[in-house]
Structure 1
Amino acid sequence: MNELAQRLRELSSAEDFLDFFAVPYDTHVVDTRRPHLLKRFFQYIRQEPELPADNEQALYRCYRALLIRSYGDFLAAPMPARERVFRNADAHVPRRSLSPTLPSATHKLVSREPA
């Protein structure tokens, strides 16, 4: 097994990958787009027609360029709804439909602690 492949297996978070490939990043962007960033990175790797197989330095540079591209995708525009992991609940359940099921301010809350 080559050294680059071994080192990549040790990485787990988006920050690990960004640090390993020396890509400067904004922590807020990574915090809000972490799963999407790595997913896009691996999609780009799979789509790459010719990855340099016999040259680790060239492969490192190629992976780095793909990670920079992935990160850049999320800097340019807001995340499309189809890529969001956590969708806005209001988009699926109108607040008005929840109102009858919620206790009103006139209901007395009862403590369940023993007296």
Structure 2
Amino acid sequence: MTCPIDRPVPSTAGILERMRRLSSAEEFFEVLGVRFDRERLAVCRLHVLKRMGEMLAGDDLEDLPDSVAAARARSMLERAYREFAGASPLEKRLFKVLKDRDPSRPVEPPRRPFVALGDALRPIDGR
């Protein structure tokens, strides 16, 4: 199912402050007027918002007119969504836990602690 919103940002007044109060991915898409597939977004919502956040961090929107800030934020959200709409979040490895795990390297089994028998039988006071 596709969201029917596909038009200019509905209301740009105070857009940055309004965006700070949003809590769900769907709210960002609705406020910025970006079309999305709910099923696809359910799979990659955190990745899309994190990528958008990275893009926003690299672009100071604070001193821009609301209409320009809204247009840039919308563009960033669209780019982030497109990035994950065609790929698995596992392929992109956006989060640290995924970056640290190299799929080409086998997982090493955890090492078992080793205590020599002589050390285990030694008296606690070291004698």
For Structure 1 versus Structure 2, the TM-score category normalised by the shorter chain is 0.5 to 0.7
**Percent identity of paired positions between Structure 1 and Structure 2:** 26
User: Which residue in 1 is equivalent to 2:117?
Assistant: none
Which structure: greater helix fraction?
A: 1
Matched, 1:74 2:84: yes
Residue 49 (structure 2) pairs with residue 38 (structure 1): yes
Q: How many residues align?
A: 89
Letter in 2 for 1:61: A
1 CA distance for matches of 2:37 and 2:97? 21
CA distance in 1, matches of 2:88, 2:69: 30
Q: Is the 8 A contact 2:16 2:69 kept in 1?
A: no
Deviation by residue 1:13-54 (Cα, 9 ceiling, x = unmatched): 000000100101001111011111110000011123x64723
Q: 2:65 aligns to what? A: 55
For structure 2, which runs of at least 5 residues remain unmatched after alignment? 1-12, 99-105, 109-127
The C-alpha deviation readout for 1:41-87, integer Å capped at 9, x for no partner, is 00011123x64723110010000000000000011222216337997
Q: Is the 8 A contact 1:52 1:58 kept in 2?
A: no
Q: What secondary structure is seen at the aligned counterpart in 2 of 1:83? A: coil
Structure 2 residue aligned with 1:23, among 16, 31, 34?
Answer: 34
Provide the TM-score with structure 2 as the length reference.
Answer: 0.58
> What stretches of structure 1 of length at least 5 have no aligned partner?
94-115
TM-score normalised by length of structure 1: 0.64
Separation (CA, whole Å) in 2 of partners of 1:66 and 1:16: 15
- Runs of 4+ aligned residues of structure 1 deviating over 3 Å after TM superposition are 83-87
CA RMSD of aligned residues (A): 2.7
Which entry has the higher C-alpha Rg, 1 or 2? 2
Rounded to whole Å, the distance in 1 between the matches of 2:62 and 2:17 is 16
